[in-house]
Amino acid sequence: MSLVRDLLIDHAKDSSMAARARLNRWAVLSGRFPGLASMSVVDLGGEPAAWLRSPVRPRSLVCVNLNESIATEGGIEVIRGDACTIKDIGHFDLVYSNSCIEHVGGHDRCMAFANNVRELGDHYWVQTPYRYFPIEPHYIFPGAQFLPLRLQMLVGEKWSLSFVGATADDGLSIDLLSKTSLAYYFPEAEIWKEKMFGLTKSLVAIRD
In a domain, 142, yes or no: no
Q: Partners of 59 in the beta sheet? A: none
The string of pLDDT tens digits covering residues 111-167 is 999 999 999 999 999 999 999 999 999 999 999 999 999 999 999 999 989 988 889
Please choose, from the candidates 33, 55, 51, the residue with its C-alpha nearest in 3D space to the C-alpha of residue 65. 51
Alpha carbons 163 and 101: distance in angstroms, whole number? 17
Is residue 72 domain-resident?
yes
* Residue 14 falls inside a structural domain: no
Residue 79 lies in a domain: yes
Query: Would 48 be classed as within a structural domain?
Result: yes
pTM of structure = 0.90
The residue range of the domain holding 184 is: 35-131+176-207
DSSP code per residue over 148-189: -HHHHHHHHHH-TT-SS-SSHHHHHT--PBPHHHHHHH-TTS
Domain annotation covers residue 99: yes
In a domain, 163, yes or no: no
Residue 78 belongs to a domain: yes
pLDDT tens across 64-116, in order?
999 989 989 999 999 999 999 999 999 999 999 999 999 999 999 999 999 99
pLDDT at residue 17 is higher than 80: no
Burial class (CB in 10 A: 0-12, 13-18, 19+), 31: exposed
Overall domain count for the chain: 1
Q: Which CATH number fits the domain that encloses residue 185?
A: 3.40.50.150
Average pLDDT, the chain: 91
